[in-house]
Amino acid sequence: MDAVLGSLLADSASTLGAGLEASLLAHDTPHYRGASPGVVRARCDRLVAAFVAAARLTDAQPFERYVRGIVAERVAEGFALREVQQALSALEALVWPLAVAAGGDTDSVVRRLALVTGIVGRGKDELARAFLDEAERADAQVARLQQRLDALFKGTEPPPTV
């Protein structure tokens, strides 16, 4: 990543976290809106930090790992996929102006925007995969529980022979 964008992202991390929190609270994101402000802000700051770390490395993998790591927690809390997607989209929308503000020739700006979109896009892909994995695990657990319930209702006596 170029040094100007890296510096802007690092210097703007707190502002990005606050902007992300405001965006989530302004949209139809009931689980973020229902959480305490301290929790939402801390989550926003961690998401921004994971993004900044990935951008500095020009490698989306740290961001993908972070996103995958939060999915089980969000699913357990009842978050819808679209709520977490909103967080990633809002982050991208907040970072784009910084990428443009870093200045330079058109090619430099386009490379920065591609980096930002690439990292967030890979995060969104990982988010979808992780949500699907969680749904499959939940479905398998429901099937196992249903089998156990069915077995309990069958009783212990063998069926009558004819």
Q: Is residue 126 within 8 Å of residue 68, measured between CB atoms? A: yes
Whether 161 maps to a domain, the answer reads no
Whether 160 maps to a domain, the answer reads no
Whether 145 maps to a domain, the answer reads yes
Domain that holds residue 100: 3-154
Q: Residue 141: is its pLDDT beyond 90?
A: no
Whether 159 maps to a domain, the answer reads no
Report the number of distinct structural domains present in the chain. 1
Q: What is the pLDDT of residues 56-105, one digit of tens each?
A: 888 899 999 999 999 989 988 889 899 999 999 999 999 999 999 888 89
Collapse the DSSP code of 35 into the 3-class scheme (helix H, G, I; strand E, B; otherwise coil) and give the result: coil
Q: Is residue 64 within 8 Å of residue 123, measured between CB atoms? A: yes
The CATH code of the domain that includes 143 is 1.10.490.10
Whether 10 maps to a domain, the answer reads yes
User: What's the whole-model pTM score?
Assistant: 0.83
Of 28-37, 88-97, 123-132, 142-151, highest mean pLDDT: 88-97
What pLDDT band is residue 12 in, cutting at 50, 70 and 90? very high
Q: Residue 1: is its pLDDT beyond 70?
A: no
What pLDDT band is residue 51 in, cutting at 50, 70 and 90? very high
Whether 40 maps to a domain, the answer reads yes
